[in-house]
Structure 1
Amino acid sequence: MSTSLQRQPVAVIAGAGPGNGQAIARRFADAGYLVVLLGRNTEKAQDLAKEIPQAVGYGCDVGDAATVTAAFDRIRLDQGAIDVLVFNAGSAIFADIETITAEQFEASWRVNALGGLLCSQAVIPEMVARGAGHILFIGATASRRGGAQMAAFAPAKAAQRSLAESMARQLWSKGIHVALIIIDGIVDTPATRTYVPDRPIESLVAPDAVAHTAYELTRQDRRGWSFEVEVRPFLEKW
């Protein structure tokens, strides 16, 4: 009787840092995935990976096409086929329309929108060939509602949301689940707590809750896929 070893699934988390990225990585690692952490700073990505079982870190500037291609080629060579891509990279540049510079506007778009495109293009061919795969975007309420200080961030997140929707309409029928998680609130991290020290913890978005939502999206039955899921703390006014 012949036996075969089941391949360990691979999840790539683009934008791996404290908060959502780290929590998502841990959730997939706990589920048995080999987790690849992508960060602009190679050393930081590798250091973070050391804290998570079954995780490795790679450097990657998601807004640079050549860097993205090289990183994903290396991941496939080292770790094998990619089953899940979570695009969590973001550039939170906040400024109003009178003070925003062209460089800031482009930088925000390059990470949030172009980065999502480039990373998705790096995994779509293999997912289409298998007829299966998951691409998740971590978005923001700013994609629907631009605040006064969001002249760069809101347009970039809106572009990301439209990109995700366009991809979903094209790729669902090919077996690739594209979904968007809208974060409505301030994410609970050590950094954000210094900005809002007086806010109760219950009013902040829990990274573990975001991670749970991301993982559960990859478990959905194909006959009942979700595209857009909102995550907010129960105290958030909406």
Structure 2
Amino acid sequence: MADHKPLALVAGAGAGLGQSLLATFEEAGFEPVGIGRTRPDTTIGAFYKTDLSDEVQMRELIGSLIATHGAPQIVVHNAAELVIAPFAETTLHDYQRTWASMVQSAVLLAQGVMQPMARAGGGTFIVSGATASLRGGARFSAFASAKFALRGLTQSLAREYQPAGIHVAHVILDGIIDTKRSRVLHSLDPTKMMSPNDIAAAYVALARQPKSTWTHELDLRPASEGF
């Protein structure tokens, strides 16, 4: 395993930010591996289709990746499940699937990688948050409740694993990410959206921070975005 490039693992490596992360990590000298529920039409590096909320699938896949590549140096949780509906029309199933997609998947990912990373001397674990991580808007009760929980989980992981050399960071993406789908849905000027490549560059910068100046929470937004 000493001859391998260090592993960069992205959970939720769909088209858009997920693939930009893999491409940027590859350029930075890492071995990019993506996992997710749906395989993109094109992918950077290896991609493994898996249910991120399934305990058995995640345990087996992460165990196999670590056996092949060693403990990852960078891990990103980038999974999301967006539900937008009035509270009276939001079902219990809506809450369960948003929590499974975002919170349960992050728990399983962390359970698979944190101890191996600690034994290997450390690394970086980054969680993609959103505006809803800080503010629950009308019609976003399912999404915001899961994002709030994800933020709390990330804080707990940071306080537990930072002494073991693992840099745990939560990144609030306060804006619409520029993808083909978002351009169709929102009809926005791309200069007013978040560039996936620029977000990915910020993630690499987090992974390269010296231990004397670790950032736990970083908020990113376009210059035109109010806050």
SS in 2 for 1:11: strand
Partner of 2:7: 10
Distance in 1 (alpha carbons) for counterparts of 2:90 and 2:32? 36
| Partner in structure 2 of residue 141 of structure 1 | 131
- TM superposition shift of 1:149: 1.4
Q: What is the deviation of 1:131?
A: 2.3
Paired position in structure 2 for 1:75: 65
Question: What are the residue-to-residue correspondences of 1:171-210 with 2, within 5 Å?
Answer: 171-197=161-187, 199-210=188-199
RMSD of equivalent CA atoms: 1.5
* Structure 1 position 75, deviation (Å): 1.3
1:227 aligns with 2:227: no
List gaps (5 residues or longer) in structure 2.
none
Aligned counterpart, 1:31: 28
The CA distance in 2 between the partners of 1:56 and 1:101, in whole Å, is 36
Identity, % of aligned positions: 34
- The equivalent residue for 1:156 is 146
Count of equivalent residues: 227
Counterparts of 1:7 and 1:222, CA distance in 2: 24
Aligned equivalents of 1:91, 1:77: Cα separation in 2:
30
Q: Give a deviation string over 1:159-202, Cα, whole Å, max 9, x none.
A: 000000110011111100000110001111111111112x2111
Aligned equivalent of 1:215: 204
Partners in 2 of 1:35 and 1:109 — Cα distance? 26
Distance 2:76 2:218 in 1: 14
Contact between 1:11 and 1:33, CA under 8 Å: does it hold in 2? yes
* Cα distance in 1 between the residues matched to 2:42 and 2:171: 23
Q: Distance in 2 between matches of 1:168 and 1:48?
A: 33
Alpha-carbon offset, residue 79 of structure 1: 3.0
- Shift of residue 204, structure 1, vs aligned partner: 0.7
Which residue in 1 is equivalent to 2:42? 48
8 A contact 2:7–2:73 mirrored in 1: yes
**Aligned-residue offset at 1:78:** 3.3
In the TM superposition, what is the alpha-carbon distance from 1:48 to its structure 2 partner?
Answer: 3.0
**Does the residue aligned with 2:84 lie in a helix, a strand or coil?**
coil
Alignment check: 8 A CA contact 1:59 1:71 kept: no
Q: 1:106 aligns to what?
A: 96
Counterpart in the other structure of 1:121: 111
Q: Structure 1 length as normaliser, TM-score? A: 0.91
| Mapped partners of 2:56, 2:85: distance in 1 | 29
Moved over 4 A (4+): none
Q: Quick one: distance in 1 between partners of 2:34 and 2:150?
A: 20
TM-score w.r.t. structure 2 length? Answer: 0.96
**CA–CA distance in 2 between the matches of 1:164 and 1:133?**
15
User: What is the letter of the counterpart of residue 157 of structure 2?
Assistant: M
Answer yes or no: is the 8 Å Cα contact 1:127–1:133 preserved in 2.
yes
> Structure 1 pair 6/223, CA: closer, same or farther in 2 (3 Å)?
farther
In the TM superposition, what is the alpha-carbon distance from 1:6 to its structure 2 partner? 5.2
2:157 is aligned to 167
